[in-house]
A and B are shown apart, each in its own frame.
Chain A
Amino acid sequence: MTETTGTDSRPAPLVVLSGVNKHFGALHVLQDIDLEITRGEVVVLIGPSGSGKSTLCRTINRLETIDSGTITVDGRPLPAEGRELAKLRAEVGMVFQSFNLFAHKTVLENVVLAQVKVRGVARGEAEQTARELLERVGVSAQAEKYPAQLSGGQQQRVAIARALAMKPKVMLFDEPTSALDPEMVNEVLEVMRSLAAEGMTMVVVTHEMGFARSAANRVLFMADGRIVEQNTPEAFFTAPRSDRAKDFLSKILHH
């Protein structure tokens, strides 16, 4: 990273949303969202369903367009659909709730494909990177299989490897464990924890409060399209300030 902000000692934020608004028809799903994410920060988005947290996550690589406001990634505003946007998306990794591995490609090919086609990496080098990443997420033995032959947890770890292969500046996780059987949640969260520990900038939409507590630098609580409350996980979970957050936590922490 060559650019610096001169005398300012604080690092420049990597992702900045300011005054972001979005509607789905009559539903005002994002309302005046302001958010700055620093390099290396792990931000966890929690909140009731329909609160706009997934939509917010998806606006950062423009899978969802916004009606007003601005979003910048590494100082550059999100371009309109086209070559520039594709380039930016390659630098923003995304992991989906439903894995979305390419069903007609082997696990290895899933991790290789975009490196070769988007980044122009030589095939041999891309395969080596892919095998290293698959090793790192613990699915190297499955490299030649097709996604449907893997368990959900394995598929999601491959999806993480696929995103990492692009060497992204920031990783977006859109409810990465919500479609998993309970016994597979941890293997995915472990990979995410180690990523966080290595300093990856991450935005994570999740219902896993344990992960939020242990891995997040900051917890954002969203409801009705607004960021209602944000704090360190410790402060948020022990002493939520808003009634909305208290209500939400009471419902999910004590059944």
Chain B
Amino acid sequence: MGILFEDGNFALFRAGFLQTVGLSALSALLALLIGTLLAAFRVSPVPALRAFGTVWVNVFRNTPLTLLFFAVAFGLPRLDVHFSSFVFAVLALGLYTASFVCEVLRSGINTVPLGQAEAARSLGMNFGQTLGLIVLPQAARSVLGPMSSVFIALPRNSAVAGAFSVSELFSTQQTLTERGYNIFAIFFWLAAAYLFISTVVAVLFRLLENRLAVAR
């Protein structure tokens, strides 16, 4: 089990770990932004925006993540869009996760009583203010639980990026295996690292839940 601390393995492992954390954090940010925007589209009074949101969610949520990585990493360069493989990975993961964020938020929006939006509109708020100031904050509070599942899945999904030339955490197993270490020892440390990341995400969401709890 001590393999992590031999032959400079730790540096390799740490680099992979940090890459995974960075990739996950940036993708999470992108997913949150695009996901919120999509949720707004899906409840907007404009039919074209609603249709756009629905199509997006259906395409990105129902496509295997690996296929999305293929599309981004090999499709975009054909359209003469060139980024580093890290940026491609952020795009694929972020856009994929955005569809889940959107659906979780939308289910939250449906739990906010209609009267809240009516009260906001009757005070003269426009659609954006009603959604942004009144409905979404309440919707987000009610879906922190399912939302944490989405963001715990994200770092684990990011392992796919290893197959697309991002040297993230999971891809370090390849190097370590080539160096001839025991496969079980390698996977033990990988599992421990992913568990650590997931736990941190879960704890962050728990803190957020406590902080945002509305007194009743």
Contacts and interface: CB of A to CB of B under 8 A. Distances in A.
A and B are interacting partners: yes
A103 B138 contact: yes
Given A117-B129, A118-B129, A148-B216, A100 B123 contact: no
Given A81-B45, A145-B215, A146-B214, A102 B122 contact: no
A195 B216 CA distance: 30
Nearest to B121: A89
Q: Which of B126, B137, B138, B141 has the most CB of A within 10 A?
A: B126
Interface stretch (B13-21, B112-120, B175-183, B187-195): B112-120
A100 B125 contact: no
Contacts, number: 75
A17 interface: no
Counting chain A CB atoms within 10 Å of each CB, the highest count among B115, B119, B215, B216 belongs to: B119
Contacts of B64: none
A114 interface: yes
Contact of A166 (B121, B124, B133, B137): B124
A98 B114 CA distance: 11
Interface string A66-104: 000000000000000111001111111110101011111
A100 to B, nearest CB: 4
B136 to A, nearest CB: 10
Interface residues of B, number: 22
A86 B116 contact: no
B115 A96 contact: yes
Nearest to A90: B124
Contacts of B119: 94, 96, 100-102, 159
Given A100-B115, A104-B214, A63 B122 contact: yes
B74 to A, nearest CB: 44
B115 A117 contact: no
Contacts of B116: 100, 102-103
Interface in B118-172: 118-126, 129, 133-134, 137-138, 141
Interface string A144-165: 0110110000000001001100
Interface of A: 61, 63, 81-83, 86-94, 96, 98, 100-104, 113-114, 117-119, 145-146, 148-149, 159, 162-163, 166
Interface of B: 45, 113, 115-116, 118-126, 129, 133-134, 137-138, 141, 214-216
